[in-house]
């Protein structure tokens, strides 16, 4: 479980942390999650790490947005890659049952989306679900919490 979290969560976190000082307004980060971040049908290590990446991306978007840096995460379903080539036939079949198009995806299916998100075209993105951008006591508390976390990291 530790290796999966190291790759899926710690890697993107360290990437964001080390590249952030080099990024300017208009820059973009795209994390590639998985439909595992939207369901609970996958092994626990994969599911929890992809939920964590989803949270990391949402938090990074809130912290970097005021600097003009966009952060997005895409959550594709089963994609044909070297890693998934060895998936058990039963696992493949189960994934296909939950796929509206009834086929696995390819890297070519998601490349245009990632390219679009990294381009300068998306000038803004919709607000995260059920979050208000208006200031509220809860927003202020989150801001104080983030500041406390930032101080604790240094």
Round to whole Å and give the CA distance between 78 and 104: 6
Q: Is 42 a catalytic residue?
A: yes
Q: Please tell me which residue in 29, 42, 50, 53 is annotated as part of the active site.
A: 42
Q: At what angle do helices 11-19 and 44-64 cross, to 10 degrees?
A: 20
Round to whole Å and give the CA distance between 143 and 137: 10
CA angle at residue 47 from 17 to 147, to 5 degrees?
35
Q: Which residues are annotated as catalytic?
A: 42
């Amino acid at each position: 479980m530790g290796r999966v979290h190291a790759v899926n969560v710690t890697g993107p976190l360290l990437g964001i942390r080390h590249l952030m000082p080099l990024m300017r307004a208009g820059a973009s980060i795209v994390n590639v999650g998985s439909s595992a971040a939207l369901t609970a049908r996958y092994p626990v290590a994969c599911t929890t790490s992809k939920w964590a990446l989803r949270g990391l991306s949402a938090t990074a978007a809130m912290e970097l947005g005021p600097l003009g840096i966009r952060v997005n995460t895409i959550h594709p379903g089963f994609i044909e890659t070297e890693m998934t080539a060895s998936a058990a036939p039963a696992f493949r079949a189960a994934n296909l049952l939950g796929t509206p198009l009834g086929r696995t995806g390819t890297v070519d299916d998601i490349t245009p989306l990632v390219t679009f998100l990294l381009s300068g075209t998306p000038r803004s993105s919709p607000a995260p679900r059920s979050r208000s951008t208006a200031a509220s006591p809860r927003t202020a508390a989150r801001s104080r919490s983030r500041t406390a976390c930032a101080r604790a990291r240094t």
